[in-house]
Structure 1
Amino acid sequence: MKNKILALLLLTSSFIQAQEALFSGQQVSSPQVHEDHSVTFRLMAPGAESVQVTGDFLPSVKVKTPMGEADGPGKADLEKDEKGIWSFTTEALAPELYNYAFIIDGFKTTDPANPFLIRDVASVMNIFIVPGEQADLYRVQDVPHGTVASRWYDAQDLGFDRKLSIYTPPGYEQSDDEYPVLYLLHGAGGDEEAWLSLGRTAQIMDNLIAEGKAKPMLVVMPNGNVGQDAAPGAGSDGYYTPQFMTPETMNGKYEAQFMDIVDFVEDNYRIKADKANRAIAGLSMGGYHSLQISRFYPNAFDYVGLFSAAIMPREDKSGKGVYADFEETLKAQKDNGYKLYWIAIGESDFLYEANMEYRELLDKIGMPYEYTESEGGHIWRNWRVYLSEFVPLLFQD
């Protein structure tokens, strides 16, 4: 009888602890998006001496990164009430997807009341959306939805299988049609998951296609770090701290083996396998990769997009001379012909001058391109906009 009572007590205690764990983050509502687009953040922390919120909805500050000075999120102080609840309400915010975190007595952490998180390199942040205008592209709407799959391909030149993510448009599974393909590349510190989680690619594609602003297409999002087979925690190396610049980053090997990815897609999906129906684009490091891949394989892509491209000299270890004869191969790419060469960057991006110098080179050799300039710096807010502007330009002939 005593054993039964003890077991019952243990079971009851476990149930209470589980209930506490379940509801501990729900003592306050945070973040609360108001009708006027202001947002209130709250945190139950009666023992804390100071609480701040930091996020990209606040005025940016300059921070140092491994690639130079860049825009970073600002901070705002929360105020504590008599119940030990800290709060801060913003001014009206523009429609956008925002990220944030709390700083409690100097310790940065996520919001326990908000279970929605994204990872950017090794930083984990909460997210919320202020609806309307551009931000409605980032929301799941009541429209037909595409499919996102994780696939592994044989990277023959690298000697092991690697992971990529593929978006297929609504109706792909029920159709016999063939589709064009956009190869979409991430930046330094990213992986095959970055454009889906941080870039909202699936939501953007679903909504643009539903609005008739974009052709149905596949979007292939590979891992651009040649030393990885997959994102941290998703590959054979198991769980480890993600790095901003992985070994062998931007050394030519990724560009040299890129046609292994194209071959895999064309062997396994119903696609239009020609230059006129292939596009390649990327942000930062991925913009650099897109520049080099499209130049090195001039018969592969009719559409090229450089989003805040990290245009800088790098040591070539591909063994195939990927970075050799740069200006001459650009001229060959120009002479070979293409339908769109699209460059976009923020006016305060730390790569702005490098992109202006690259434009001067293109002007000198008479290589046609389209250019767009936005506010802000090296941030996902810009890259989501660039994607939503670039995609409607593809495959319209």
Structure 2
Amino acid sequence: MKTKSTFLVCCIIALLGIPSFVHGQPPRGPFVISPKVNPDKTVTFSYLAPNATTVLLDGNQFGSANVPMTKNAEGVWSVTVGPVKPDIYPYGFKVDGTTVMDPANVAFFPNERFKASLVEIPSDSPAIYALQNVPHGSITYDYYPSVENSTGTIVVYTPPGYNKETAKKYPVYYLISGTTDTEETFWKVGKVNLMLDNMIAQGKAKSMIVVMPYGNPLAKIAEQTGKDKPSDVMNRDGDDALKRMKLFETDLITKVIPYVEKNYRTINNRDNRAIGGFSRGGGQTLRAAFNNVDKFAYVCSYASYISPAEMNKSFTNITADPAKTNKDFKLLWSGIGTEDFLYKGTTEWEAYLKDKKINVKTYAIPGGHTWMNVKSYLNETLPILFK
């Protein structure tokens, strides 16, 4: 039987809306803010791990690889690095040898094989990929009937005004992420939506729909049939890689494009379709475009190539009649970083095309195989699509 005092306490708890189990909850640790970008463009990273022996900042892409962090009395490890060049960078922490994301940060790098947090260092004047006070488009997650009776996923950007101007139709850019990236990466890391919002507002780019498919349908099939996810392809030019690229091409041409053109207001001809991609997605781009010249007039390869040997074997339709190819493709564009591990293969492919009298617009910048460079490729190509 309850005493009067116990009864009174229970009534107060009920009246205040306080759950009666609060007394059984463990105490919470200190509130952690991370990352904190300082006015001088240094960045303070923090991680709560009172029982850890060592915590390192894993920020290789902004020059802070394996930087030791210092623990305070509350068990929060911190370090300040920089100043850091304005851009968006992946990072994480190594806690007693195990790499983890930053639990205090909701921005993350979507990838099949690794997870990293993202930090944005703003420039003094807004970058083209920064959130600005302009009309914004929309991002939609969508599903479509994919190859081998699977269900595929796409992320779709529709431009500002799409939902208001209901009679207007738009050109489409099919944009494919790199190896182990997902259909979210061009949005969450590449910021293609904000870049287009800003470019459209400034009159630098045409209003367009961007369709971002998942580049690994074989993994989606395995997931939906209870099989193990296939291992990563080690040889980019090997038979297994080419087989997987063909499966993606089949999915894109026979499933994705018909679904998009049925469910979105698109202009359904080759002059209003563009295709582009980064790394593996660039290889998928080139093969899909060269095998389906009737489908795409604009082709953008970001840090990728097809070897001259494969070109001679599989794509004589591109090289046999250069005048026709140059007429068919309103844009054939290739970008690469000078420190990219694919630089040699890419520049050899570009030289091969030029030797065959194929018009290819080339673009080389410093940097490696990174999404910082991808945003530069987007900055160059988005304004010249559908012009």
Q: TM-score range by the shorter chain?
A: 0.7 to 0.9
Counterpart in 2 of 1:390?
381
The 8 Å contact of residues 32 and 48 in structure 2, kept in 1 or not, is answered as yes
CA–CA distance in structure 2, aligned partners of residues 146 and 242 of structure 1: 35
Match of 1:58 among 50, 57, 62: 62
1:179 corresponds in structure 2 to 170
Q: 1:205 is matched with which residue: 196, 207, 217?
A: 196
Q: How far apart in 2 are the matches of 1:242 and 1:134? A: 44
Residue of 325, 349, 374 corresponding to 2:314:
325
Query: Which structure carries more helix by proportion?
Result: 2
Residue of structure 2 in register with 1:34 after alignment: 38
1:355 offset after TM fit, Å? 0.6
Q: Distance in 1 between matches of 2:71 and 2:120?
A: 25
Distance 1:362 1:135, change over 3 A: farther
Change (3 A) 1:43 1:371: same
Q: 1:272 aligns with which of 259, 267, 271?
A: 267
Match of 1:254 among 242, 245, 248: 248
Shift of 1:284: 0.6
Report which stretch shifted further, 283-292 or 50-59: 50-59
Distance 1:11 1:240 in 2: 43
The reply to whether residue 170 of structure 1 matches residue 160 of structure 2 is: yes
Provide the rounded CA distance (Å) in 2 between the counterparts of 1:148 and 1:301.
Answer: 23
Paired AA for residue 325 in structure 1:
S
- Deviation digits for residues 277-335 of structure 1, max 9, x if unmatched? 111100011111111111111122111100011535999xxxxxx99532343445751
- CA distance change for structure 1 residues 363 and 312 in 2, over 3 Å: closer, same or farther? closer
Q: 2:25 aligns with which of 4, 14, 17?
A: 17
The count of residues paired between Structure 1 and Structure 2 equals 369
* Aligned twin of 1:69: none
Shift of 1:2: 5.5
Matched residues, percent identical?
31
Q: Is the 8 A contact 2:126 2:132 kept in 1?
A: no
- The answer to whether the 8 Å contact 2:322/2:356 transfers is no
Q: Report the Cα offset of residue 78 of structure 1.
A: 1.6
Structure 2, unpaired ranges of 5+? none
In the other structure, the counterpart of 2:367 is 376
Alignment of 1:1-397 (within 5 A): 1=1, 11-14=19-22, 17=25, 20=28, 24=29, 27-59=31-63, 74-81=65-72, 84-132=75-123, 136-155=127-146, 158-175=148-165, 176-229=167-220, 236=224, 244-245=232-233, 249-251=241-243, 252-260=246-254, 261-309=256-304, 311=306, 325-332=314-321, 335-336=324-325, 337=327, 338-396=329-387
CA shift in 2, pair 1:33/1:16, >3 Å: farther
Deviations 1:81-131 (A, max 9, x none): 455443211121111112211112222222233333333223222222111
Q: 1:267 to 1:80 in 2, by over 3 A?
A: closer
Is 2:282–2:301's contact at 8 Å kept on the other side of the alignment?
Answer: yes
TM-score by length of 1: 0.81
Deviates more, 1:383-392 or 1:135-144: 135-144
Where 2:115 maps in the other structure, the secondary structure is strand
User: 1:113/1:354 Cα in 2 relative to 1: closer, same or farther (>3 Å)?
Assistant: same
Distance 1:159 1:364 in 2: 43
* Structure 1 gap segments, 5+ residues each: 60-72, 316-321
> How many Å separate the matches in 2 of 1:19 and 1:85?
16
